């Protein structure tokens, strides 16, 4: 057996290689096909649990938009998801893998809660502004911590930001069970509801966080696309060596961007605590920080695409809750359905970027070499 033949036999049957850039039309077609296949697979699952897939899908859509109140509920779900997805986008553009949006949301909400609980007598406008600043600074600091250790000691940002999520969560648990426990709760561990003066005002029946979120979409788009700092983020994301060669202060850019990324997520926490929950709970983030990673990735880090994807996710979340109540399906069934849809959509993104290359057959023998 020749050495060339022996080397070929050692090659794997298939390899994953990076795909050449696909035309935009083909990518769109592939994504539509993924959505279509996910609906078919989800329909098969729904049929297996004894329900009509067409009825269930119709209920999901109508449940999220069938009335003004239902639509308001969908928008409430969308607000923190949209804002935190925009925050993550800044870090991901720089290829700083911020998995800590959950903790940044929680800590931003915690900082804002301090003023909501102990400064509720202030002028309403002043108090709301201060709570916004507290949420932004709190989330920004929580994002700055892993960034500092990254630029100083080259720590793994993925693990660092992930661990900070749990620290933020336990800080809330400590405050809930101790210093901030509601004295009127008769021993039940909870933080008191905020005074009306410390709650966000409503606009068209929904707390005005939705307006802040829409403004942020435009601001983040302009920041990334048309500002010097946004250009620096892109260059650092492509190559830190190139950024240094161009005279950019990479450490400063990383620290600044992670403060902004965490600050936006902290703002989402403040809005959720003071606009929707009207108190601080351990579930103030509710997994939004992790879902935001999927949203930002699916939207290709484009703020306007994030707006659309986060709305679709919110429709699915709100509609699934209606399905649970109307048809008696457990929450696990709704989670499985969401997981099936996400599996196909995320799988599609793999095939947009990569392809399988199979081992070639030996031209002389017609057999694999």
Indicate which CATH number applies to the domain containing 162.
Answer: 1.10.3470.10
pLDDT score recorded for residue 1: 53
Residues 145 and 274 in one domain: yes
CA distance 75 to 67: 12
CA distance 8 to 369: 5
Residues 277 and 145 in one domain: yes
CA 161 to each of CA 169, 254, 305: distance values in angstroms, whole numbers, following the listed order: 13, 14, 25
The DSSP bridge partners found for residue 354 are 18
Domain interval for residue 26: 1-51+329-369
Report the C-alpha dihedral over residues 307, 313, 316, 320, rounded to 10 degrees: -130
How buried is 13 (Cβ within 10 angstroms: 0-12 exposed, 13-18 middle, 19+ buried)? exposed
Give domain status of residue 64, yes or no.
Answer: no
* Phi, psi of 16, rounded to the nearest 5 degrees: -95, 125
Structure tokens at 2: 């020749």
pLDDT score recorded for residue 355: 73
CA proximity to 83, closest of 66, 98, 67, 101: 101
Using a pLDDT cut of 70, give the percent of the chain over it: 93
Q: What share of the chain is helix, strand, coil (3-state, %, to 5)?
A: 70, 5, 25
Q: Which range among 146-160, 177-191, 195-209 shows the weakest confidence by mean pLDDT?
A: 177-191
Give domain status of residue 319, yes or no.
Answer: yes
Using the predicted structure, report yes or no on whether residue 20 has a pLDDT greater than 90.
Answer: no
Give domain status of residue 89, yes or no.
Answer: yes
Residues 126 and 93 in one domain: yes
pLDDT score recorded for residue 345: 78
Using the predicted structure, report yes or no on whether residue 283 has a pLDDT greater than 70.
Answer: yes
> DSSP strand E in 179-278: where?
202-203, 206-207
pLDDT score recorded for residue 29: 84
- Tens-place pLDDT, residues 305-328: 999 989 988 888 888 888 877 877
- Tens-place pLDDT, residues 83-103: 999 999 999 999 999 999 999
Average pLDDT over residues 50-63: 85
Residues 363 and 253 in one domain: no
pTM of the model as a whole: 0.87
Residues 75 and 196 in one domain: yes
Residues 15 and 161 in one domain: no
Residues 344 and 319 in one domain: no
pLDDT score recorded for residue 141: 96
pLDDT score recorded for residue 2: 57
Residues 227 and 360 in one domain: no
Residues 231 and 151 in one domain: yes
Cβ contact 350:344 at 8 Å: no
Give domain status of residue 161, yes or no.
Answer: yes
Give domain status of residue 30, yes or no.
Answer: yes
């Amino acid at each position: 057996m020749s050495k060339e033949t022996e080397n070929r036999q050692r090659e794997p049957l298939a390899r994953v290689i990076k795909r050449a850039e696909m035309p935009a039309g083909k990518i769109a077609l592939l994504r539509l096909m993924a959505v279509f296949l996910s609906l078919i697979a989800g329909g098969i699952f729904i049929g297996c649990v004894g329900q009509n897939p067409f009825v269930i899908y119709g209920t999901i859509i109508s449940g999220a938009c069938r009335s003004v109140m239902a639509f308001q509920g969908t928008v409430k779900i969308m607000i923190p998801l949209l804002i935190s997805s925009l925050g993550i986008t800044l870090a991901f553009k720089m290829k700083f893998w911020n998995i800590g949006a959950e903790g940044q949301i929680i800590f931003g909400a915690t900082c804002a809660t301090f003023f909501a609980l102990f400064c509720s007598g202030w002028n309403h406008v002043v108090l709301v502004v201060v709570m916004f600043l507290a949420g932004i600074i709190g989330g920004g600091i929580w994002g700055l911590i892993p960034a500092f250790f990254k630029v100083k000691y080259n720590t793994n940002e993925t693990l660092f930001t992930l661990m900070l999520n749990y620290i933020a969560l336990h800080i809330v648990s400590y405050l809930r069970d101790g210093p901030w426990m509601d004295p009127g709760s008769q021993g039940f561990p909870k933080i008191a509801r905020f005074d009306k003066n410390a709650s966000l005002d409503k606009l068209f029946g929904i707390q005005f966080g939705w307006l802040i979120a829409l403004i942020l979409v435009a601001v983040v788009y302009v920041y990334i696309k048309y500002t010097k700092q946004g250009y620096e983020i892109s260059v650092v994301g492509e190559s830190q060596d190139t950024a240094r060669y161009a005279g950019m202060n990479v450490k400063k850019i990383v620290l600044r961007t992670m403060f902004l990324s965490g600050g936006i997520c902290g703002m989402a926490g403040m809005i959720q605590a003071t606009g929707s929950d009207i108190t601080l709970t351990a579930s103030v983030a509710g997994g939004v920080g992790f879902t935001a990673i999927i949203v930002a990735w699916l939207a290709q880090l484009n703020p306007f695409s994030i707006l659309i994807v986060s709305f679709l996710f919110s429709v699915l979340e709100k509609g699934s809750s209606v399905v649970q109540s109307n048809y008696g399906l457990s929450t696990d069934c709704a989670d499985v359905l969401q997981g099936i849809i996400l599996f196909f959509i995320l799988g599609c993104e793999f095939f947009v970027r990569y392809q399988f290359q199979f081992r070639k057959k030996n031209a002389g023998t017609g057999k694999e070499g």
